[in-house]
Chain A
Amino acid sequence: MHIVLRLAWRNLWRQPRRTWLTTGAMVFCNILLVFMMSMQFGMYGMMIDNTLQIFTGHLQVQAPGYKDEQKMRQVVPNILPLANTIRAELQSKAVAARGRTFVLASSEERSYGVMVYGVEPEFEQNVSNIPGLVRDGRYLRDHDAAEIVIGSILARNLRVDIGDEMTLLGGGADGSFAAAVVDVVGIFTSGVTAIDRNIAEIPLGLFQETFSMRGAGHQIVVVGEDLDEVPLLQMRVQSVLPAGSELQVLDWDTLQPGLRQVIQADMSSSFFMYFVLVVLVSFSVLNTQLMSVLERTREFGIVMALGLKPGKLGGLIMLETALMGMMGVVLGAFAGALFTSWFTTNGLAIPGMEEMAAQFNLPAKMYPRVNLLTLLAGPGIVFVFTMLAAIYPALRLRWQNPVEAMRVA
């Protein structure tokens, strides 16, 4: 074995420039793959976190049909006691009840349609980052106070400031006319235009009172430690729902189907690109190995005439390719990690990208996430394709007649 390995290694360096060029192609491809995959995973993670943090949470308890239609009377009855039960079961404070409806919000000078959430002021901060984004004034405090927190663009459009009064007009759960007068106590800025323009939050008590909810709400939001925990949480929440109730426990994937699909769409287009890169590198390897076999035809003829089996020679070619492939993997993964880790600390900002990033709740600067998978998946695939590309040159030896081979000039 030792001698074959040495033979293979030395053969590689008979044409150092060619070996380096082929290895270079692999290294180039590997660096790109490592970087792009790390970038993707960083982006996906951030996209999921940021989107879920705003409102969705990891799980929601809702009435059947509410997810698609969001009608006022599709309610979770007795929502506060149920939220308490879930908190007790999960031993977690990251559980909050909400009501949600559409109203016409009017200030002295302007009127706009607004999505208004009734929230539990003491728990909302554990499931959503909106309370933490209040820049002016303060977040809600009291469960029944006539107070409202609104987005910054909405505040500008309505021309209101902290302390100003607003009127909310809408319809109650029973179809009645509903109205409330509230004071603006806080203004939040999330940076996402749609949220800063359209969202307002009032205490759940006031919400239930105003919109004739009779103790009901529309959703109970649950946030777990991380995404892996979600299926388990879902089962536990399901187990404490009142017997015979039609309520549904929906996970984030069901609540935000677009999120996973954006990721899927992005992944499939990326995989197409990766595949093309890998195929191009494979062609390069195929060419190199075929050349190296053809130029050694005489030499191979001699050793075959001396009794070496073509299979052994084929093995030698595969071994040479494997050595070259290993160099590509090691150098590529190493250089890729170095290259990528610079961005994990400094972030990557693509000019002109901010607008697009904001559409997906992403910050302007993106940070790749390097892990074993992103580090080795790309180089691993390149290695496999390299070996596949060497099969044809290796097999060619089998069809070689030693005598004819030796005659080749």
Chain B
Amino acid sequence: MRLFGVLFRLAWRNLWRNHRRTTIMLCAIAVGVWAMIFMTALTRGMVDQMIIEGIRTLPGHVQIHNPKFLDDPSISNPVSISAQQSFDDPEIVAWSSRVKVPAVISSERESRGITLLGIDPVAERHISFIKYDEVDGRFLVDSDDKGIVIGAKLANILETEIGKRVVIMSQDPDNDIADRGFRVVGLYTASTGAVEEAYAFVGRATVQKMLRIGNQTTEVVFVGDDYRDVEALYEVILDAVDDSVSVQRWYETNTYLGSMLNVMDGFVVVWIIVIFLALSFGLVNTLMMAVFERVREIGLMLALGMKPGSILGQILIESMLLLLIGLVAGNMLAWATVMSLQGGIDVSVVAEGLEMFGAASVLYPKLNVDDMILASKVVLVLGFLASLSPAWRASRYKPVEALAKVG
């Protein structure tokens, strides 16, 4: 232990003998680590938002359907669980059963295809992406509400407004056209126009009456604590239902979002490694220089009886110190950058492009402690490996030859 203390002090002092070189290398490491974490925080923020948004604009964390519904989203494939059955488990934060059918909405001017959602607004409050209080006009009050809430963009296309009537057409289980007039009671806004165009909300009981389906629904959605960990919730629900329905996790219903998460995880690792490789050239170079200009000194220490292992350790400690200081600086820099951007980065100039991704026009970088740890681990472990070669070389000098070398 005393030996380590000595080596540590030697390494620390050696580090600052050439303070310019050390400072430049520290800058490089700090910038590299900053870029690793900042870039990761940006992508994480974007993907997080996309997924949360995506899950809220319908799937929920876990859903139950009639097994045939996914291939054939028709009212003829209702879910065999009645809307009355209740689910109770600590894993379930909120749940709701819905009627979700394709429909045509018409004003006196225009018609459009939409996804009609018959919901129970009370149960849906904590699931829906719509904040009830922010709806222009009002949101649905209960399952028997006779009104309809549509997106602001859809209202614009249909040339309709709050208080006017629209007609909804869909099909009933016998493939007869089921239609009904609804009064527009509220207009909602969403983060993307595509969502505003796609979904219209009506009371569940009202739409059940219109479609002549009694108490049936087409899906039950469940929301748990965290979208990243839905396995426990999935298990609970699997146990609660029988084989007549299919239970799916969100990334199975929305494969685009599911694959997005994986691709981004992969990207983060690749990015961290690429940056590290770019850094490693400089790191090895610096260590080599440090060893090279100290050849005589190392020879002297060896001649005085220091073990080659101690030389090796000393160089490695020096390298680790360099990396650690760089890591601390880089992490703090990244943290400070992300904190200063908490208000979000406005990227609305490319809003329509991001809409193609399904992302919103304000980007909130999200600092993930796991990512910071991952980046630090990669830098330390790979940095250690990269330092082995110069350190090994230093410990293998023959004392006499090293001493004879002209400084």
Which residues of A pack against B, CB within 8 Å? 15, 17-18, 21-22, 24-25, 28-29, 32, 69-72, 101-104, 106, 108-115, 156-157, 159, 169-171, 175, 198, 257-265, 269, 272-273, 276-277, 279-281, 283-284, 286-288, 290-291, 294-295, 350, 352-356, 358-360, 409
Q: A102 → chain B, closest Cβ, in Å?
A: 5
Q: Name the A residues within 8 Å of B275 (CB-CB).
A: 276-277, 280
> In the complex, what residue of chain B is closest to A21 when comparing beta carbons?
B285
Q: Name the B residues within 8 Å of A290 (CB-CB).
A: 20-21, 24
Q: How far is the CA of A257 from the CA of B285 in the complex (A)?
A: 47
Q: A204 → chain B, closest Cβ, in Å?
A: 20
Q: Cβ of A70 and Cβ of B169 under 8 Å apart?
A: no
User: Can you give 20 contacting A-B residue pairs, CB < 8 Å?
Assistant: A15-B292, A101-B111, A103-B104, A110-B72, A111-B170, A114-B113, A260-B353, A264-B353, A265-B350, A276-B35, A277-B278, A279-B31, A280-B278, A287-B285, A287-B286, A291-B21, A294-B18, A356-B263, A359-B356, A360-B356
Q: Does B321 contact A (CB under 8 A)?
A: no
Q: Name the B residues within 8 Å of A350 (CB-CB).
A: 263, 266
> In the complex, what residue of chain A is closest to B177 when comparing beta carbons?
A111
Q: Does B16 contact A (CB under 8 A)?
A: no
> In the complex, what residue of chain B is closest to A286 when comparing beta carbons?
B24
Q: How far is the CA of A287 from the CA of B73 in the complex (A)?
A: 64
Q: Cβ of B104 and Cβ of A104 under 8 Å apart?
A: yes
Q: Cβ of B278 and Cβ of A281 under 8 Å apart?
A: yes
Q: Name the B residues within 8 Å of A114 (CB-CB).
A: 113
Q: B139 → chain A, closest Cβ, in Å?
A: 24
Pick the contact of B111: A24, A170, A276, A353 (CB < 8 A). A170
Q: A113-B114, A157-B72 are in contact. Are A28 and B281 (CB under 8 A)?
A: yes
> In the complex, what residue of chain A is closest to B23 when comparing beta carbons?
A287
Q: Does B28 contact A (CB under 8 A)?
A: yes
Q: Cβ of A113 and Cβ of B256 under 8 Å apart?
A: no
Q: A21-B281, A113-B113, A259-B353 are in contact. Are A283 and B31 (CB under 8 A)?
A: yes
Q: A259-B353, A284-B28, A290-B24 are in contact. Are A25 and B102 (CB under 8 A)?
A: no
Q: Does B352 contact A (CB under 8 A)?
A: yes
> In the complex, what residue of chain A is closest to B159 when comparing beta carbons?
A71
Q: How far is the CA of A198 from the CA of B102 in the complex (A)?
A: 11
Q: Name the B residues within 8 Å of A287 (CB-CB).
A: 21, 24-25, 28, 282, 285-286
Q: What count of chain B residues pass the 8 Å CB interface test? A: 71
- What 17 new A-B contacts, CB under 8 Å, besides A157-B72, A261-B353, A287-B285? A72-B109, A109-B175, A110-B175, A113-B103, A156-B72, A171-B111, A259-B353, A260-B353, A261-B350, A265-B347, A273-B39, A276-B39, A280-B275, A283-B27, A284-B281, A353-B259, A355-B258
Q: Cβ of B175 and Cβ of A263 under 8 Å apart?
A: no
Q: Cβ of A25 and Cβ of B175 under 8 Å apart?
A: no
Q: Name the A residues within 8 Å of B25 (CB-CB).
A: 283, 287
Q: Does B32 contact A (CB under 8 A)?
A: yes
A-B contact count (CB 8 A): 186
Q: Does B108 contact A (CB under 8 A)?
A: yes
Q: Cβ of B350 and Cβ of A112 under 8 Å apart?
A: no
Contact mask for chain B residues 256-282; partner A; CB cutoff 8 A; 1 contact, 0 none: 101110110010000100110111011
Q: Name the A residues within 8 Å of B258 (CB-CB).
A: 355
Q: How far is the CA of A279 from the CA of B39 in the complex (A)?
A: 15
Q: Name the B residues within 8 Å of A111 (CB-CB).
A: 170-171, 175, 177
Pick the contact of A175: B39, B108, B112, B284 (CB < 8 A). B108
Q: Name the B residues within 8 Å of A284 (CB-CB).
A: 28, 281-282, 285
Q: Name the B residues within 8 Å of A70 (CB-CB).
A: 157
Pick the contact of A171: B110, B157, B355 (CB < 8 A). B110
